Structure formats: structure tokens, C-alpha cells
Amino acid sequence: MKCINSLLVIALTCIFLCGCAEREVRMPFQIDSSETAFSFETSNENSTVEPFASDLAVPVPDLMPGEEVSQGEDSYGSAVLIDCANKNMMYSRNALATLYPASMTKVLTAIVAVKNASPDQVFTADESCVFTEGDVQKIGLRSGDSMTMDQALHMLLIYSANDVAQLIAVNLGGSTEGFAEMMNKEACAIGATNSNFINPHGLQDENHYTTAYDMYLIFNEAVKYDEIVQVISTVNYSTVYKHADGSEVNFTCDNTNRFLKGLARAPENVNVIGGKTGTTLAAGGCLVMLSKDSGGNNYISCVMRGKSIDVTYGKTAAMLSLVK
């Protein structure tokens, strides 16, 4: 009887520890093996696991050379400067603080657009693309207006047209909500996990936010696409799109980036390629930007919640002075 009881205890213990399901452990732990589920270091190059952030700069405690202004007319909310070639964060202040991105949102909108549409795909506006607010940046889309994805991308990133952002959203996501799901899925894949996007344009919503570090991750992904880099570096743009009745609409705009327009100056050894601005009352002045040094190495900067857009550009120029 004691033997039977002992066997029963052993059997129950095995069931408790191993579970009832018939599952094979594909990579059980072996202390001498370099290829188990618990060991990722190996001398075999073909089985080395590549870390997710191997080609990215990682957040660091605040690095703030010089005197910083945390309040008053020259204050800002967060800022980062990343040396992309060396994956080095050269400047950091409140890099993980969640803030409103305003129209910097459109960088993520552009990524989703180029990944899900061809340049010549035609987008058609519906009623949700008609923006009547007087203080909202727009081209004045009407229901039935149409243009290609390439035209929309230029108006989105150069002129920062909110109605064009909505045009992209409804044509690719079916609705604002559907496109926001695509945006958040893309943000998570990039690693921008401290963000949440509600719309494609960045008009104010308290649940729509990101961080300066996440904007670096998003922008770093965006500049992998040649078509996006080409657009953000364009100073002037002219095109023709169509109304529903087939009549043509001429459109011309200048880039909103002051560095490209000659209204702000970068250090002599820095070449500003382009970026994306963003300004609302709640978000303040925002700017994410790609620049190169004299050797052609990439740098990504981001400033959020500048007290004014002048402060944002001034802070960006000051950070770029760290580039040698």
C-alpha cells in the first residue's frame, strides 16, 4: 500500500510540474549548449540573435551641456540629438516625457502611406476631408477631390495640410479610427511604445501623444525611405489635382522648415536635409529634423513643446552646434 501511495504521489507531482498538455520542449535548457531557449550567446555566426536596438541609440539620463532654461519665455519641454552613425545620444532632456506632437504626427502618417500605397495610387476625398476651421492648415479639399499618393505625400510633409492627412487616412484605413490602428501598429513595430496616436494629422486630442525619443525612432524609420527624404528636402512644390467634376486645381506651396527657407541658420559644418514642424497651443513649438555633418553622417534632432516656434528653432540650432 505504501508503495502504491508513493507511486501516486510521484505521478501527481510530475503532472503538477509538467502540466497535462502534451507539448514538446523544443529548446530545453542545457548548461553546455549555446543554442537553448535560455542562452543567446554563441560562437556560431549563423545562430547569433540580433538585438532589436542594435542599430539604434538608446535612452540615457539627461545630458545637458551648458545652462538650461526650464521655464519662462525661452523654455521647452524635451529635446534630443542623436548621432545616427555612432548610435550615440549627444543631447537629452526629458527624452521619455509624454507630450503632444502636433503635426510631427504626419511623419508616421507618411510611413504608413509609403508602406501601403504606390506613388501613383489615386486617393479620393470624402466629407471627413472637408475642414472648415479657419485656423487649421489645409488646402481646402472638397468631397470628390482626387490626387495621387505622391501628391498627397508632398502636401502632407511640405505644407502640413491636415485635410490631406485625413485624405490619406480614409483611403488607406477606411476611417480615422482604422488608420490610427495602422499608425499605432507601426509605432509599436518601430519600438515607439510610449506613444498613442488618435488621428493622422496631430490636431489636439488629450489621448494623442508621444515622446522626443519615440519621435527619433519614428523619424529614423521614415528616413529609410528615399521618397520621404526627397519630399522633406523639397523647398518649393507645385502640382495640379482634380475636383470631382474633372476640373483642375493648381497648388503651390513652400516648405514650413525655416532652415530650408533661410529663416534659421544651422552651424556652418551642418547641412539640414529636412524635417517636420508642428505647432498648436497645447503642443507648443515642435520640430524633428535630419541633418548631416561635413562627412555625410546623419543626425536626428527633436525639440518638443517650445514656448514658441522661435525657441524651438533656437534650441535645435544650439544642439546642432555640438556636431563637430
What is the value of pTM for the model shown? 0.82
Overall average pLDDT of the 134-154 stretch: 96
Active-site residue set: 103, 106, 160
Residues 24-71: tens digit of each pLDDT: 434 444 444 444 433 333 344 444 444 456 678 877 667 665 555 566
What pLDDT score was predicted for residue 24?
Answer: 43
What pLDDT score was predicted for residue 71?
Answer: 61
| 206 falls within a domain | yes
Which residues span the domain enclosing 146?
78-320
Residues 148-206: tens digit of each pLDDT: 999 999 999 999 999 999 999 999 999 999 999 999 999 999 999 999 999 999 999 99
| 10 falls within a domain | no
CB 166 within 8 A of CB 176: yes
What pLDDT score was predicted for residue 84?
Answer: 96
Overall average pLDDT of the 229-243 stretch: 98
With cut-offs at 50, 70 and 90, classify the pLDDT of residue 145. Answer: very high
Overall average pLDDT of the 303-323 stretch: 95
With left for phi above 0 and alpha for psi between -120 and 50, is residue 207 left, alpha or beta?
alpha
| 29 falls within a domain | no
Kindly tell me if the per-residue pLDDT of 13 is higher than 50.
Answer: no
| 273 falls within a domain | yes
Count of structural domains within the chain: 1
Query: 3-class DSSP state for residue 320?
Result: helix
What CATH number did the domain enclosing 205 receive? 3.40.710.10
E strands along 117-231, which residues? 122-124, 146-148
Scan for cell 505625400, then name that residue: 153
Residues 256-280: tens digit of each pLDDT: 999 999 999 999 999 999 999 999 9
Residue 157, CA distances (Å) to 41, 82, 110, 111 in order? 43, 22, 8, 11
| 69 falls within a domain | no
Report the mean per-residue pLDDT for the chain: 86
| 37 falls within a domain | no
| 35 falls within a domain | no
